[in-house]
Chains A and B, each alone.
Chain A
Amino acid sequence: MPADALLSVRNVSKRFGAIAAVDDVTFDVAEGSITALIGPNGAGKSTLFNVVTGFVRGDRGDVLLDGESVFRRPPHALARRGLVRTFQLTKALSVMSVLDNMLLANPRNRGERLGLAALRPLWRDEERRARVRARELLQVFGLAAKANDYAGTLSGGQRKLLELARALMLEPRVVLLDEPLAGVNRTLGRSLLDHIEGLRAERRTTILFVEHDLDVVMRHSDAIVVMAQGRVVASGTPAEVRRDERVISAYLGTVTTDE
């Protein structure tokens, strides 16, 4: 494992019945990098995301976060260690206010314990601090005016922004974005990409994202991992991947594996 790898996927496999959804996948995500995970539909990208984030139990392999194994740890434990994800289909908590969506993600509120919840003075200050932080983030993401609206009233693009802003409340080290631009119009998409680049620049947050728009991937990522039929078929910088024959054939649908 290279010294600068923050997230390391090692020989991870996951089968669903006879189908090897993820088949012996290995790659690294360098600290502070924006790494893209691409591949045709059914390549296993989403399953890999689910295994890495604990939503699906992997069969074999290992996942290292900053050198420590986090393989098969439950999602909430991973989130608390700084590995936070978003979903392909946005999961805005509709019948909660935008602000409550943000406050929910605060990782250190004692008021979330049943025994202390009724004792407001014990958690009021932390709640106040979280609210300041949440409003700052909403400001950055252009959602400040919506703070008290139900999240369900936001447009599709705004929900994507909220999901990213909400993830940041956890102060993550790695953010995994599952198709952050799907269903988002160009303007909002550009603003999302700016935010993602800003994150890396300002907080050195590491980003791993799945995306289908190759234009975006080539322009905005430092490294690309290409998957097809559950396996990694290529990886490298955008320039390297662009020239790779295997990538082209994977996208044309005639996969030629090494064996």
Chain B
Amino acid sequence: MTGLLAVSLHFLVNGDFWINVGVLATTYGIFALGIQLNVGTTGIVNFGQAGFMAVGSYAMGILVVRYEVSFWWAMLLGIPVAIAAALLVGLPSLRLRYDYFAISTLAFSEIVRYLADNWDGLTGGNLGLFGYTDTWTDASARIDAWLEKIGIGQRFLLPLLVVNLALLLLLTALVALLVRSPWGRVLNAIREDEDAARALGKNTFAYKLQSLSVAAALAAIGGYMLAINISILSPQNFDPILTAYGFVIVILGGLGSYLGVIVGSFFLIFMLEATRYVELPLSDARVAAVRFMIVGAVLMALVVFRPQGLFGKSEELALRAR
């Protein structure tokens, strides 16, 4: 049996493997932070996070490539564009029941992807949009020099990892701070019972819009990380499966837990990347499929044996089940 499913563990001592896991996990982590705020804290089911990510990153890329806006300004401007998209989706659909809202966000996400695929003149269509990374390349070289100075040395993507990690920790702390504030208490109340919150004088519609807007802003920031990492934006990078990964992270980490988002994203990306090294006497296409079966089995086991997630509270789960 051991010969049939062999895993070479050499990748675990390979620095590049871990840097790659780190860059992806931090990107997904910031992306999933927004899903946690919406789903875990506010109780609104946002299936369109990949769409907000696309809007933010394409806005940045288009501003740089087509309008020659500076990279930093473009990143700053991409956030309000993503928030505008959140308002566009949220204003008509956040008054609907939660399941209709969920479908609306998914539809929005797909509309954005098809637009990106077909509006060639603006987005580059399926050939992709590129040429926005020059400023980053310079910045990256400076971070490299600094890393060299403090004795860490140069490695591909290490500067991006450093920036991503700092941003993930900073933004997670910020969102956790917001969630623990009176503002976050209103969001929690909306999740528990929106009518009760309204009866206590809270304009729940406005709060849901704010929650969605913050999520969209986080998606945009995650989108910049993705855009820098892959250096070419194509519509297929924003497939709805991305949002599904975000949900997996949130459920893995525990609904409502922000530490869980960080741990969950590293856990999921590690699983997805590590299973690439599974060696089987099968064709490559079949190995690729088996990989996802392994990941799926591990996730199922986790949900069965720890339904509240890694950092969720079991007593909260029990109260919800009542």
Contact present for A123 and B182 (CB under 8 Å): yes
Within 8 Å CB of A167, what residues of B?
200
Determine which of B182, B202, B319 lies in contact with A95 in the assembled complex, contact meaning CB atoms within 8 Å. Answer: B319
B231 at the interface (CB under 8 A from A): no
Determine which of B182, B199, B204 lies in contact with A111 in the assembled complex, contact meaning CB atoms within 8 Å. Answer: B182
Contact present for A117 and B181 (CB under 8 Å): yes
Assuming the contacts A75-B199, A79-B199, asked whether A94 and B192 have C-beta atoms less than 8 A apart, the reply is yes
Within 8 Å CB of A127, what residues of B?
182
Determine which of B181, B197, B322 lies in contact with A118 in the assembled complex, contact meaning CB atoms within 8 Å. Answer: B181
Interface size on A, residues (CB 8 A): 41
B174 at the interface (CB under 8 A from A): yes
CB closest chain-A residue, reference B255: A95
The distance from the CB of B145 to the nearest CB of chain A, in whole angstroms, is 34
The distance from the CB of B175 to the nearest CB of chain A, in whole angstroms, is 10
Determine which of A94, A104, A109, A111 lies in contact with B320 in the assembled complex, contact meaning CB atoms within 8 Å. Answer: A94
Assuming the contacts A117-B181, A118-B181, asked whether A96 and B192 have C-beta atoms less than 8 A apart, the reply is yes
Within 8 Å CB of A114, what residues of B?
178, 183, 210, 214
Contact with B along A100-134 (1 / 0, CB 8 A): 10011111010111100110100100010000000
B284 at the interface (CB under 8 A from A): no
A85 at the interface (CB under 8 A from B): yes
Assuming the contacts A76-B202, A80-B201, A91-B199, asked whether A152 and B322 have C-beta atoms less than 8 A apart, the reply is yes
Within 8 Å CB of B188, what residues of A?
93, 95-96, 100
Contact present for A111 and B195 (CB under 8 Å): no
Contact present for B198 and A117 (CB under 8 Å): no
Interface centre among A75, A94, A127 (most CB of B within 10 A): A75
B196 at the interface (CB under 8 A from A): yes
Within 8 Å CB of A42, what residues of B?
none
Within 8 Å CB of A85, what residues of B?
199
Contact present for B320 and A112 (CB under 8 Å): no
Give residues 302-319 of B contacting A (CB, 8 Å). Answer: 315-316, 319
Show 20 A/B contacts (Cβ-Cβ < 8 Å), sorted by A.
A53-B199, A55-B195, A55-B199, A74-B198, A75-B195, A75-B199, A76-B203, A84-B201, A91-B196, A94-B192, A94-B320, A95-B316, A96-B192, A104-B200, A113-B183, A118-B177, A118-B181, A127-B182, A150-B319, A169-B200
Contact with A along B175-194 (1 / 0, CB 8 A): 00110011111101101110
Report the separation of the CA atoms of residues A112 and B316 in the bound assembly, to the nearest whole angstrom: 24
Assuming the contacts A109-B182, A170-B200, asked whether A91 and B195 have C-beta atoms less than 8 A apart, the reply is yes
Interface centre among A53, A76, A120, A127 (most CB of B within 10 A): A76
Within 8 Å CB of B197, what residues of A?
93, 104
A166 at the interface (CB under 8 A from B): yes
Report the separation of the CA atoms of residues A91 and B194 in the bound assembly, to the nearest whole angstrom: 10
Count CB-based A-B contacts (< 8 Å).
107
Within 8 Å CB of B181, what residues of A?
111, 117-118, 120, 123
Within 8 Å CB of B183, what residues of A?
111-114, 117
Question: Taking beta carbons and an 8 Å cutoff, which residues of A are in contact with B?
Answer: 53, 55, 74-77, 79-80, 84-87, 91-96, 100, 103-107, 109, 111-114, 117-118, 120, 123, 127, 150, 152-153, 166-167, 169-170
The distance from the CB of B217 to the nearest CB of chain A, in whole angstroms, is 11
Report the separation of the CA atoms of residues A50 and B173 in the bound assembly, to the nearest whole angstrom: 40
Report the separation of the CA atoms of residues A105 and B185 in the bound assembly, to the nearest whole angstrom: 10
Report the separation of the CA atoms of residues A153 and B322 in the bound assembly, to the nearest whole angstrom: 10
The distance from the CB of B259 to the nearest CB of chain A, in whole angstroms, is 18
Contact present for A75 and B320 (CB under 8 Å): no
Within 8 Å CB of A105, what residues of B?
200-201
Within 8 Å CB of A104, what residues of B?
185-186, 189, 197, 200, 202
CB closest chain-A residue, reference B179: A117
Report the separation of the CA atoms of residues A251 and B135 in the bound assembly, to the nearest whole angstrom: 80
Within 8 Å CB of A75, what residues of B?
195, 198-199
Give residues 181-237 of B contacting A (CB, 8 Å). Answer: 181-186, 188-189, 191-193, 195-204, 210, 214
Assuming the contacts A74-B203, A111-B182, asked whether A150 and B196 have C-beta atoms less than 8 A apart, the reply is no
Report the separation of the CA atoms of residues A94 and B192 in the bound assembly, to the nearest whole angstrom: 7
Contact present for A153 and B200 (CB under 8 Å): no
Within 8 Å CB of B316, what residues of A?
95, 150
The distance from the CB of A212 to the nearest CB of chain B, in whole angstroms, is 22
Assuming the contacts A76-B202, A170-B201, asked whether A91 and B193 have C-beta atoms less than 8 A apart, the reply is yes
Within 8 Å CB of B192, what residues of A?
93-96
The distance from the CB of A3 to the nearest CB of chain B, in whole angstroms, is 28
Report the separation of the CA atoms of residues A113 and B185 in the bound assembly, to the nearest whole angstrom: 11
Report the separation of the CA atoms of residues A94 and B201 in the bound assembly, to the nearest whole angstrom: 19
The distance from the CB of A207 to the nearest CB of chain B, in whole angstroms, is 16
CB closest chain-A residue, reference B201: A79
CB closest chain-B residue, reference A153: B319
The distance from the CB of B202 to the nearest CB of chain A, in whole angstroms, is 5
The distance from the CB of A24 to the nearest CB of chain B, in whole angstroms, is 26
Question: Given A93-B189, A95-B192, 5 other A-B contacts at CB below 8 A?
Answer: A84-B199, A103-B185, A117-B178, A118-B174, A123-B182
